[in-house]
Amino acid sequence: MRVLIIDDEKNICISLKSILEDEGYNCDYALSGTEGLEKFDIYSPDVILLDVKLGNVNGLDILEQILKIDANITVIMISGHSGIKEAVTAIKMGAFDFLEKPLSLTKVKIAVKKAWEFKSISQDYIRIKKSFDEQYKIIGESKAIQDLLLLISKVAQSDSKVLIRGESGTGKELAAFAIHHQSKRDKKPFIKFNSAAIPNELVESELFGFEKGAFTGADKSKKGKIEQADSGTLFLDEIGDMNLNAQAKILRVIQEGEFERVGGNKTQKIDTRIIAATHKNLENLVQTGEFREDLYYRLNVIPIVTPPLREHPEDIPILIKYYSEFYSKELQLALKIFLPETVIELQSWKFKGNVRELKNIIERVYILVNKEKIEIPDIIDFGQTSGKIVDFWNQTVSFKDKKREFETKYLATQLKLNNNNLSKTAEVLGLQVSNLSRKIKELNINTD
């Protein structure tokens, strides 16, 4: 760690430099504000010890200039008794701490150690937050994705209930987090609860919490997801898998904003925004009695649909680039280049698992393919293990070949539907029998 000492008393600078270097820090010092700013620019310190009074220069002015250059720099102010007021002002301006003269060497070492620990934690927080934000980033430039992002930005401004529908792997959780992140609750918790991932008998205790002695093994009280999300957002993933008892209690939370823990009788008030998501057909579940109709209408205030990847294949090159760079950093491997023909091949796949499946394939490529340029043969086996299906409409081949493929599939299917009766098929399709017969021979369709 680098420490810069800025003080107009040379003896203090030398003493501080000596004791801090004994602690293993890399130190330098400056005897004026001007020199301090120059060394700050060249030396790039992690922590600065700055005197409040630097001859005729006010240390607060130097602090202000330093913080303008780097708002995250950790500064410890040094002041004599007469400079206490200035030191307090410095703390309000953004200084980390202040030490009073005469300096205690022990206190100096403790203060610098705490400053370094604080800076390390701050850097970790920034790194983790950046990683977290990247993890929840919705990638794409297609109209489908831009329409989704626009809807999210509008929905986020209110506290209305949202029901997110979409196939597995289309980013329902990302949409829920984006709504939370753009809302007035963004500084509060975003709590996830997946009904499909928890056994039915544990859903209520996990969701609503429990009191000590509520059941065998409940040796202490525990907050549930509802309480954890107070003032924030509760994301109920796979709401279609939630049992009817839990559904009734969630309905009460929505209607009245209150609940009780399992095994408790104390009613608690709660202020949380609820966003639900499912890949199931809730309307069918309502008809079969597996999902409460009143809860369905309470949740479905603002419906959002996350589009399947096959509906916006133009985003596949962007997704490939994004996740390729991500796994290059994550796995500390050289960046792999997906050749244009490989990207086109991937654009023709249906991706039943949507973006999640594409992401998994790219990760698999980074782990298993030991080459820089990724060709079509490198991904074919991965497609087979993923249950890859080529999307007829997204596949890029010549118009002539695609037309022939369409006519062959279409006519063969129609013949099959009509039990290979040529006359009936021609009648249904509005064709002359002679023309249909000629086309069947041209396309080499088996009519046996």
Q: What is the pLDDT of residues 44-70, one digit of tens each?
A: 898 999 998 888 888 899 999 999 888
Pairing outcome for strands 273-278 and 233-237 = parallel
In the numeric block, the tokens 């966003």 are attached to: 275
Q: Taking residues 311-337, what's their average pLDDT?
A: 94
- Separation CA 226–CA 229 (nearest Å): 5
Residues in the chain: 448
| Tens-place pLDDT, residues 337-371 | 999 999 999 998 989 999 999 999 999 999 999 99
Amino acid identity, position 408? T
Q: In the structure encoding, which two tokens stand for residue 328, read together? A: 């290059």
Give the pLDDT confidence score for residue 368 in this predicted structure: 93
For each of the domains in the chain, give its residue range(s) and CATH number, in order of start. Answer: 2-128 (3.40.50.2300), 143-305 (3.40.50.300), 310-385 (1.10.8.60), 399-443 (1.10.10.60)
In the numeric block, the tokens 């079969």 are attached to: 288
Nearest to 185 by CA among 234, 150, 225, 148: 234
Question: 0.85 exceeded by the pTM?
Answer: no
Nearest to 286 by CA among 275, 271, 273, 299: 299
Predicted confidence (pLDDT) at residue 387 exceeds the cutoff of 80: no
By three-state DSSP, how is residue 409 classified? helix
| Tens-place pLDDT, residues 249-301 | 999 999 999 999 998 888 999 999 999 999 999 999 999 999 999 999 999 99
Q: Which residues contact 376 (CB under 8 A, 6 or more apart)?
A: 339, 341, 342, 345
| Tens-place pLDDT, residues 244-256 | 999 999 999 999 9
Give the pLDDT confidence score for residue 392 in this predicted structure: 67
Sign of the dihedral defined by the CA atoms of residues 80, 85, 89, 95, in that order:
positive
Nearest to 187 by CA among 153, 227, 156, 232: 232
Pairing outcome for strands 258-259 and 268-269 = antiparallel
Helix axes 354-368, 316-330, angle to 10 degrees: 50
Backbone angles phi, psi at 242, to 5 degrees: -75, 140
Distance in Å from the first CA to the final CA of the chain: 82
Distances (CA, A) of 176 to 114, 139, 323, 381, 395: 38, 15, 21, 34, 32
Nearest to 260 by CA among 308, 211, 219, 215: 211
The per-residue pLDDT of the chain, averaged, comes to: 89
Amino acid identity, position 10? K
